[in-house]
Structure 1
Amino acid sequence: MSLGISEDQVELADSLRKWAASLGPIAAVRAAEGDPHADFADLWSAAQEMGLAAIALPESAGGGGGTVLDQAVALEACAHELVPGGLLGASLGALLAGRPGRFGVQVFPGGVVWDGGTGTEALLLDADDTQSDVQPDAQPDVQPEAHLGVDLSARHASVPAAVGATETEVDPARRRLAITLAAAEAAGVARWCLGTAVDYAKVREQFGQKIGAFQAIKHLCAQMLETAEAVTAAAWDAAAAADAGDETQWDFAVDVAAAVCFDGAVEVAKSCIQVLGGIGFTFEHDAHLYLRRAITLRSLVGSADDAAERVCAAAVAGVRRQVDVDLEGRDETIRPEARATAERIAALEGADQRAALVEAGYLTPHWPAPYGLGADPTTQIVIDQELARAKVTRPDLVIAGWAVPTVLAHGTDEQRERFVRPSLLGELTWCQLFSEPGSGSDLASLRTKAVRVDGGWSLSGQKVWTSVAERADWGICLARTDPDVPAHKGITYFLLDMRSPGIEVRPLREITGEALFNEVFLDDVFVPDECVVAEPGDGWRLARTTLANERVAMASARLTKSVERAVALAATGDLRAAQRVAVGHQVALATVCGLLGVRTTLRALGGQGPGAESSVAKLLGVRSRQESSELVVTLQGDRLAVLDPLTARPDTPGQRGENLAADVWEQLNTRCLSIAGGTTQILRNVAGERILGLPR
């Protein structure tokens, strides 16, 4: 997916990639090898004619009248094709100088001038005042010297050490803009590397099959996808924040991008070469050119750890990424009624409030009437916003949120009447009876049997990892009704009364010391025909069902509980620099996880299907929660050694007013996240096959 989300930006990215490829940029880079004075004049003339470096300038200044995000989309597309000629420096210089030109820009104190090759106009820092406005002619006698560098597609330059600012203070406006645009190039590099690796894995054969079918390659490509999506989300957000006009928010978004994008692009480029194998290590293949661009971008923007420490400091000061979703006026006719309804619901309490949410369709607005509103994405967002404004919190449907949509979509009228509304009102509690001791992620191998009897079915078998089974009223249960057909086709979806004779529930103690899960034993449990959903044999299809009108959540980049806890520990002032860096990296990762959700929401509002972000979000979200909860415990040192984790509970008070017991419980409990709902490894297989198109 492109860095841009709107239809216009997606079209811009597609057209620019095609245009850039038609120029033969890689051939130009190779032809200029060894020449420090190569100016790539033909390519620069083509880019200048297109106005690429001045997209974000006002039309009155000779620009395209676009946004910084538009400029970032263009840079991403051109970096995807490795266009040489200094577009990054020219784009940065145009915005700083307020006019088009072929600029080389000194971003940080020191001697390096970005894209300051032959024929460029140098924008040097003012040695007397690093905070002053840009003065392109401040030092007309200085001629930066172009150099060959690691990046063979660029010609950066140097100036004498005595020229330009030498103080450690950095011009914040110049730094923000430089990292914003450089992050867009990093996203383009990551995208090319991911696509190249995946395309190769689809056709290269070893041991008689395509290498993309090997789980090791599939997982490596899936991890590249995770990183590329994170890079893209952070780069997009930095550019979007630039256009929003809030410098504090832009600073935060830029530091998140600096902590994520450049290391990420390098990692994806290295993994690309790994997938390519020997051919990727040759000079003839283009992969090393992209690795060189990624390494150079990282060297230009400064340390990711320094950025992470700034992220930590900002978070301690109370800064969180606040992303506003522009509904472009589509909410004007919806909002008054939504606000009035939310305020009316807010005036009620307890069961009355829940009943009012159900009656209005506001508990599940994406569900079809009469249980919801069949609401489109805009309406869902507005309802979320107004309920939040009125301080109304929806009750969590838990397993009913999975069970009831299946009944809605595939059940009979009698089943809908019997189960849907009582479940919404909280009168029925559900559990899920899918997993078995030998069938976790591989549900098709389940062994629980359902045998035809008079008036229904008799179920026998064992289920495991079943939450709330000890108090559930009903369970959704998969059982094998036909052992003579392929595994996926012989499964049926049952609604099981958990008070039926023959059901035994045994608590299963987890690593936290608690028993939240259960084993459930079924011994000739009778299920009447009216509790079969759809037809016998449809169970596999139903187990994977979701409503066509899926839930669209209100966009948010809020931090998770453990990340907020880590920030609170940093606020004590007791952490060392390396620990603050670790906290900052976790804040950045959690922020990116939220941004993936924002991008999914924006796609839905634009009428697009979900992008890769929605699939990647769970993988990165699990990593974020596990790493941050572990970090919180690690930050508290050896006090852990004298805490009994089997007697610790989330409400056990800790020392100095802190709750170390809760922190330990959280670290232990989050280990389940990479297992529940499909292991991380299985999900990477799924991402590799369904998103990247790798062979089974």
Structure 2
Amino acid sequence: MSIGITDEQVELADSLRKWAASLSPLAAVRAAEGDPVASFADVRAAAEEMGVAAIAVPESAGGGGGTVLDQAVALEACAHELVPGGLLGAAIGGALTGRPGWYGVQVRPGGVVWDGGAATEHLLLAGGTVTPEVGVDLSARHGRVTDDDARDAATGEPGRRLLALTLAAAEAAGVTRWCLETAVDYAKVREQFGQRIGSFQAVKHLCAEMLETAEAVTAAAWDAAAAADADDTEQWAFSAEVAHVVCFDGAVEVAKACIQVLGGIGFTYEHDAHLYLRRALALRALAGPASAAAERVTAAAVSGVRRRVEVDLEGRDEAIRPEARTIAERIAALPPGEQRAALVDAGYLTPHWPAPYGLGADPTTQIVIDQELARAGVARPDLVIAGWAVPTILAHGTDAQRERFVRPSLLGELTWCQLFSEPGSGSDLASLRTRAERVDGGWSLSGQKVWTSVAERADWGICLARTDPDAPQHKGITYFLVDMRSAGIEVRPLREITGEALFNEVFLDEVFVPDDCVVAEPGDGWRLARTTLANERVAMASARLTKSVERAVELAATGELGPVERVEVGRQVALATVCALLGVRTTLRALGGHGPGAESSVAKLLGVRSRQDSSELVVRLQGDALAVVGPIGKESGAPLAADLWEQLNTRCLSIAGGTTQILRNVAGERILGLPR
């Protein structure tokens, strides 16, 4: 997905990509090779006629009157086609001065003049004459200041730097997107060893990792541009620094990975991939060291800055907010022990579920309810496994099953566990061996399940078992509701690497399950295991940091960390912020009536990386005290003991719910369309 989320932004990006491609920009780049004063006149004339670089300039001055985000969408689209001629400098200069033109912009005192070689005007912090040079980026002509005979009186360095970073990040997103698309398209058709290379897991994982990075770059670039349009310089500075940490290194890494997927052809001068790598390298060099940006992110976080994202409901909430506020305040006024039942009765515990258990609420209504409950101080209880089991019963169960299980589960009267994984079928769930044989009035289940949370206290379990051993793997599975108090069930705790026993293995020895506890029809189990309600839950947008990242910031606030360690903390703050922004973008897509984009699919992969890396960093920052930490525990009174518990516990995140490697296979095949 590109930076743009709204229909208008998506349409703008699509039209500009087509327009840019029609200019044959790469041919112009190659034709100008070695010419330090190349102006790319034809391309520039077309861009000037379109007003591409003046979108954020007021209409009264001859510009488009758009936002910085609109300008970012345009630059991303043009960078996708590698349009030459100085669009970035022109866009920065136009937004700074409020008038269109072809500007060279010096962002840092004594630094290179961005697009100075192709400019007709210059914004120079230190002043001087600009000499154009041919640099690493063959599609641009940046400049070198050769004397000091003038001084620019335009916007000062801090604001200029933020705007330059914001719009450069948009170009980085465009480069990243092209490299991802090019690599994936090649992997779909290139054959080696008799197979298309996209079917090789190594290539599939490389492409999936490119997708993760591309979505992170896109989210960070989008947020920086969105923050630029808000009236909060502190928030803009924070988001621009996060973009600095994420976008430019990310673009370089994806460009290098693209060449790796292309193989020998990608290393040739004739292929366009190296031109995109060159643009990425130049943008990274112009932006300056990401380590310095990471240290600034740490400093901002230590001072209390966190990214605050406001979701604009565009007035769609006006008709529903008064009632939502009244209900939320009424629930908040009840004793804590009565609030859960009140949430259930109002449909506010699961508003996305259909009536009478929810409201069948659309995304806007869900967001408003979230906001009003938060405002009133009402916390929803976590349904845990019931949040997976009950939607399946709602969608596929009988009326009697819904009557029996749904409301008691919402009220917390029933606790559920999930009996899916087996010792020989973890991520490969279709290979499960627990068997269910027909008996009088129901089924007899025998087998072993593992990694089952809360099995020791669950009332019911959702269980997959094989009812037809002769059917193909995915066809002969049935979905059962198992009473965990039934004869023949043995639960044994499994001690984990933290020393605690949160998981269990469950043995089923001829456990009787009546026919009325089969969901849907025998053989439907695989389909049911993969379904959810059509009206998905839309969470309230948030960009909060995770527990370990906050702990890392706390350690940085002591003043005892060195520069290298502070950089590491800043990188973790940036990654956690981006992970949260992926959720915000998914929320905004839902509010616009669209299904989730790729960011929702890679959010778990990036989120796992964030939580594991940040928890490990927290422990590492505390040095050799780890060797004498004493007994560890989540609730330990010793901070390092609790930190170590968190680090060890997060190792399960890249295993549970599908390993990272399997999820990358899924992302490669279902999102990128790579062959199996």
TM over 0.5: yes
Of residues 457, 475, 478, the one that matches 1:492 is: 478
Of residues 604, 611, 636, the one that matches 1:652 is: 636
Asked if 1:595 is matched to 2:575, the reply is no
Show the counterpart of 1:692: 672
Deviation at 1:165, TM superposition (A): 7.5
**1:181-220 alignment to 2 at 5 Å?**
181-220=167-206
Q: Secondary structure at the match of 2:417?
A: strand
Residue type matched to 1:102 in 2? W
C-alpha contact 1:492 1:535 (8 A) present in aligned 2:
yes
Q: Secondary structure at the match of 2:116?
A: coil
C-alpha contact 1:110 1:164 (8 A) present in aligned 2:
no
Deviation at 1:111, TM superposition (A): 4.0
Deviation at 1:163, TM superposition (A): 5.5
Task: With the length of structure 1 as denominator, give the TM-score of the two structures.
Answer: 0.96
Number of aligned pairs? 674
Show the counterpart of 2:69: 69
**1:432-443 alignment to 2 at 5 Å?**
432-443=418-429
Deviation at 1:98, TM superposition (A): 1.3
C-alpha contact 2:85 2:118 (8 A) present in aligned 1:
no
Cα distance between partner residues in 1 of 2:463 and 2:119: 71
Cα distance between partner residues in 2 of 1:470 and 1:163: 79
Deviation at 1:82, TM superposition (A): 0.2
Deviation at 1:119, TM superposition (A): 4.9
C-alpha contact 1:110 1:165 (8 A) present in aligned 2:
no
Show the counterpart of 2:106: 106
Cα distance, 1:165–1:268 mapped onto 2, change above 3 Å: farther
Cα distance between partner residues in 1 of 2:106 and 2:217: 24
Cα distance between partner residues in 2 of 1:119 and 1:216: 45
Of residues 663, 676, 684, the one that matches 2:656 is: 676
**1:192-591 alignment to 2 at 5 Å?**
192-591=178-577
* C-alpha distance after superposition, 1:39-97 (max 9, x if no partner): 00000000000011110111011110110000000000000000000000000011111
C-alpha contact 1:255 1:310 (8 A) present in aligned 2:
yes
Cα distance between partner residues in 1 of 2:635 and 2:15: 57
Provide the identity percentage.
82
Q: Secondary structure at the match of 2:513?
A: strand
* C-alpha distance after superposition, 1:632-668 (max 9, x if no partner): 0000011110024xx31122222xxxx1111000000
Cα distance between partner residues in 2 of 1:220 and 1:316: 35
Deviation at 1:469, TM superposition (A): 0.2
Deviation at 1:314, TM superposition (A): 0.2
- 5+ unaligned residues in a row in structure 2: which ranges? none
* C-alpha distance after superposition, 1:463-498 (max 9, x if no partner): 000000000000000000000010000000000000
Q: Secondary structure at the match of 1:599?
A: helix
Residue type matched to 1:634 in 2? R
Cα distance between partner residues in 2 of 1:478 and 1:566: 41
* C-alpha distance after superposition, 1:407-426 (max 9, x if no partner): 00000000000000000000
Cα distance between partner residues in 1 of 2:437 and 2:413: 31
Deviation at 1:342, TM superposition (A): 0.3
Cα distance, 1:164–1:429 mapped onto 2, change above 3 Å: farther
C-alpha contact 2:3 2:219 (8 A) present in aligned 1:
yes
Cα distance, 1:339–1:243 mapped onto 2, change above 3 Å: same
Residue type matched to 2:86 in 1? G
C-alpha contact 2:129 2:146 (8 A) present in aligned 1:
no
Task: With the length of structure 2 as denominator, give the TM-score of the two structures.
Answer: 0.99
Show the counterpart of 2:97: 97
Q: Secondary structure at the match of 2:9?
A: helix
C-alpha contact 1:108 1:170 (8 A) present in aligned 2:
no
Deviation at 1:164, TM superposition (A): 6.6
Deviation at 1:143, TM superposition (A): 3.4
C-alpha contact 1:111 1:161 (8 A) present in aligned 2:
no
C-alpha contact 2:105 2:115 (8 A) present in aligned 1:
yes
C-alpha contact 2:176 2:255 (8 A) present in aligned 1:
yes
Cα distance, 1:369–1:159 mapped onto 2, change above 3 Å: same
Show the counterpart of 2:47: 47
Q: Secondary structure at the match of 2:438?
A: strand
Cα distance, 1:212–1:164 mapped onto 2, change above 3 Å: farther
Q: Secondary structure at the match of 2:443?
A: strand
Cα distance between partner residues in 2 of 1:652 and 1:111: 51
Cα distance, 1:408–1:164 mapped onto 2, change above 3 Å: farther
Deviation at 1:160, TM superposition (A): 2.1
CA RMSD in angstroms, aligned pairs only:
1.1
Cα distance, 1:161–1:490 mapped onto 2, change above 3 Å: farther
Cα distance between partner residues in 2 of 1:154 and 1:368: 56
Show the counterpart of 1:26: 26
